[in-house]
A and B are shown apart, each in its own frame.
Chain A
Amino acid sequence: MSNHVITTTNLGMRYGRHTVLNGLNLEVPKGSVYALVGSNGAGKTTTLQILMNLLRGHTGAATVLGVDSRKLTVNEYARIGYVSEGQEMPDAMTVAEFLAFWRPFYPTWDNAREQELLQLLRLPLDRKLKHLSRGMRMKAALISSLSYRPELIVLDEPFSGLDPLIRDEFIEGLLAHADESTILISSHDLAEIESFSSHVGLLEDGHMAFSEETTTLTNRFREIEVRAEIPALPPKLPSTWVRAETTAALVRFVETQWHPERTAQEIKEVFPTATDYQANAMPLRALFVALAKAARKAA
């Protein structure tokens, strides 16, 4: 098996005339925590559902754990933990019944880990699922998906609508017991996952805008503020600059290929009157917003 747990090649999907995925290429390295980000409707959920063989792509191919996603069998599902936003749960079951129901289906189910997760996430065993809050239900789904030590954990918008406390507990539970797993997590809010994701892929208009390690990404992007009195932005700017804007004596833009010397040189060339500039590291969330806005503007 290659070093990638998930790969997609030119994956395409459409609903009627609406194209959702358009030649998506994705590679999720083994052992990584891969954050698949994108705005609402970008195709994140569709991608994950194709990977889980819940949907079938119209073009391209996808492999999960070395198997064509369309041919996933119970053997692969026993190695995958999948939790999605708004997952339909058996409401009439208690948490204990829910876990007891799934236990026999997984040969690798670890009762000790289940107990640890239950204690960590403080989930009442005797409570029926229909009487649990949304966050608690997600916790129950997470416990049922981590207790068998899956090789791959796929989480589709797991934090959507969760309050911060529950979200932190959820992440804590995830990270505490997913050390040997590969995690693919989709979200439209990078602030939730930037603290623990090792890789980030931005899904935009059905294809991957970029996909790289988080540290590389954060090193590559800088928000630049240039002190320069210019009446207007020059018509031609370096192609690596996005979201350029000017106010009074300040020019602000995002450098997508930050390199101290080269960027400084380009600033001098574009703004000869510049007196000073400052390069600020960007949180993933700001980075994502900047790129998304730039893409919309370009579109």
Chain B
Amino acid sequence: MRHIVHIVTKDLRQAWPYGAAALAVLIVNTANFARVLATRGTEQAAALGIQVPLDWLLAITWALYYGVVLLGDTIPGTRQHWISRPLRWQSLLAAKLLLLPIFALPVAAAHLVQLSLRGFPLADHAAPVIANAFWLVFAGLLPVATLASLCRNLQQLALWILALAAGILALQQWDAALPAALQGVVDDATVAAAILACAGILLWQYATRRTTPARIATVALALVIATLPHWPSSLWRNLTHTPNSPATLAVSPPIEWNGGGLRIPLQTGNLSPKFILKRDDLHVRLSTYLTATTDVKTIDPYEFERDGELNLDAPAGFFFRNAKDPMDIEITGEFIVFSAPIHQSVPTDGERFLPGIGRCQSWFDKLQIIECQSVLGAANRLEIVPVWKFVDHLNANKFTALASASAQSPLSLVPEFHPIGLLSGDMPAYWKKEDSSEIRLSTRKPIAHIKRSLQLRGVVLEDIPSFPKRQTPQKQEPAPLGGILNPPPPKPNSPIADHFIPHNAPAKAPQ
């Protein structure tokens, strides 16, 4: 232990300019966060504008600091001054890893400041925030440690990081076609696999200094882990073809082209009466494939409710207006069918109590958090926290905000993220000035996923007689962000109305 501390002291002393730079960026980052909260108008916009670059700079400076420290005692090669000395590799590695909790301390302090600025009582949240800071630093810098153990200098390290990042990003462009509900589990598995791989290579490299095999293993494992989400995709596709799979509760007839638009229908006859359709994914997917011909706002849900009654036998789906001739384009749409919303109500008197988090201060009397989706089969560990600032819509008396959410499977291998660590989350939230509703949180359990892919290449599709034609589409108000929890107001006596809590409903006890 004496030697470990001795090495740590040496490292901190040798790389102090880099440490000072990293600390300075952390302080600037935190100060800018305070500025975002404390200001309005252009000053706030300016602060928000540099927040993302500051976040990147923060990550780069800490990675650089750690890289410099690690490369102070390089592993590859046979001419290092320490290599034939009475220095155990275990001590050297332990000293390098001991720097991670040391690095986490200022990060935790910065998070506590941010938490405090946001109105969270520090006494309640210090422990999870500190734990989260340790976890973030560990997860963020462990790959740096692994790559540094394969490199002889900073230039090599930078090249390795860039090359691997480019490779992983390129692989991520390959659509995994994974159901959103399963994504959390796969993300967990990916993160766990990445950490295990990093730790394994790091140990191997320090113990054996066999750099070439370690480099080959690193590239191979990076490829495997980057493509990990694609494996359950195949599994999922197989599951959807199994008759007893929950996914077969819903079926999708063929896509229909009627000359004026595309219908991507969904047969809902086998579904439970309590269901809701999510169309966000469809937005994304259609806009991805048809960016040249359409705007996402022209996709409308239709026909899942007729004449004020939920018609379970009627096909539902999405109608894609103003479509150009779909020849030679590929359309891929995804429906996610959820079970009924489970609403949770929270007090609105200034402070908010959110499940799993604690108290949350809001600047507005009313805040509606939309779109809280849990991991498949694991709805009991949902965490939601509103973050950032409300921003005026330019042309409406509405506000939007960003909220962060984290949902993990109870069996997740990855330590739980505390929401404070997800400061840059991008889950949409929505608030309307005239809306007097209380904060509502809802979790929904996905019960079915249907993915359709149809290539229209020089084929004229015939109408399907049994499928009802859509009425002339009417101009609709564009859906607000996260629109699924802002459906058109349910008509009285409609079964679906039971699944949305009235605005004046009494608050329920937090869970």
* Cross-interface CB contact of B6 among A54, A74, A104, cutoff 8 Å: A104
- Encode A87-127 as 1/0 by CB contact (under 8 A) with B: 11110110001000110111000000000000000000000
Q: In whole angstroms, what is the CA distance A88 to B83 when docked?
A: 10
Q: Within 8 Å CB of A55, what residues of B?
A: 78
Given A101-B6, A104-B2, CB of A87 within 8 Å of CB of B86: no
Near A by CB (< 8 A), chain B positions 46-99 give: 72, 74, 77-81, 83-88
* Cross-interface CB contact of A105 among B15, B72, B78, B86, cutoff 8 Å: B86
Q: Give the interface size class of chain B.
A: 20 to 34
Q: How far is the CB of A90 from chain B (nearest CB, A)?
A: 6
Of all chain B residues, which has the CB nearest A75? B86
Report whether B85 and A102 are in contact in the complex, using a CB–CB cutoff of 8 Å.
yes
Report whether A74 and B88 are in contact in the complex, using a CB–CB cutoff of 8 Å.
yes
The contact sample of 18 A-B pairs, CB cut-off 8 A, is A52-B83, A53-B84, A54-B84, A55-B78, A74-B88, A77-B87, A80-B84, A88-B81, A89-B81, A90-B72, A97-B10, A101-B10, A102-B85, A104-B3, A104-B6, A105-B3, A106-B86, A141-B81
The yes or no answer to A170 lying at the interface (CB within 8 A) is no
* Cross-interface CB contact of A90 among B2, B6, B14, B78, cutoff 8 Å: B14
Given A88-B74, A90-B14, A93-B14, CB of A105 within 8 Å of CB of B85: yes
The yes or no answer to A86 lying at the interface (CB within 8 A) is yes
Near B by CB (< 8 A), chain A positions 176-192 give: none
* Cross-interface CB contact of A92 among B6, B14, B84, cutoff 8 Å: B14
Q: In whole angstroms, what is the CA distance A102 to B73 when docked?
A: 13
Given A90-B14, A93-B14, CB of A105 within 8 Å of CB of B81: no
Can you add 11 more A-B contacts, CB < 8 Å, to A55-B78, A87-B80? Answer: A54-B84, A74-B86, A77-B86, A77-B87, A87-B79, A88-B80, A88-B81, A93-B14, A105-B3, A141-B81, A144-B81
Q: Within 8 Å CB of B78, what residues of A?
A: 49, 54-55
Please report whether the interface of chain A is mostly helix, strand, loop or mixed according to DSSP: mixed
Report whether A105 and B87 are in contact in the complex, using a CB–CB cutoff of 8 Å.
yes
Q: How far is the CB of A164 from chain B (nearest CB, A)?
A: 25
* Centre residue among B77, B80, B81 by max chain A CB count within 10 A: B81
Q: In whole angstroms, what is the CA distance A84 to B77 when docked?
A: 13
Of all chain B residues, which has the CB nearest A107? B86
The yes or no answer to A82 lying at the interface (CB within 8 A) is yes
Q: Within 8 Å CB of B14, what residues of A?
A: 90, 92-93
- Encode A36-74 as 1/0 by CB contact (under 8 A) with B: 000000000000010011110000000000000000001
Q: Within 8 Å CB of B3, what residues of A?
A: 104-105
Q: In whole angstroms, what is the CA distance A53 to B78 when docked?
A: 10
Of all chain B residues, which has the CB nearest A141? B81
Q: In whole angstroms, what is the CA distance A209 to B3 when docked?
A: 44
Report whether A88 and B77 are in contact in the complex, using a CB–CB cutoff of 8 Å.
yes
Q: How far is the CB of B172 from chain A (nearest CB, A)?
A: 37
Near A by CB (< 8 A), chain B positions 103-162 give: none
Near B by CB (< 8 A), chain A positions 224-244 give: none
Q: In whole angstroms, what is the CA distance A82 to B87 when docked?
A: 14
9 closest A-B pairs by beta carbon, nearest first, are A74-B86, A78-B86, A82-B84, A54-B78, A77-B86, A52-B84, A92-B14, A88-B80, A105-B86
Q: In whole angstroms, what is the CA distance A141 to B78 when docked?
A: 15
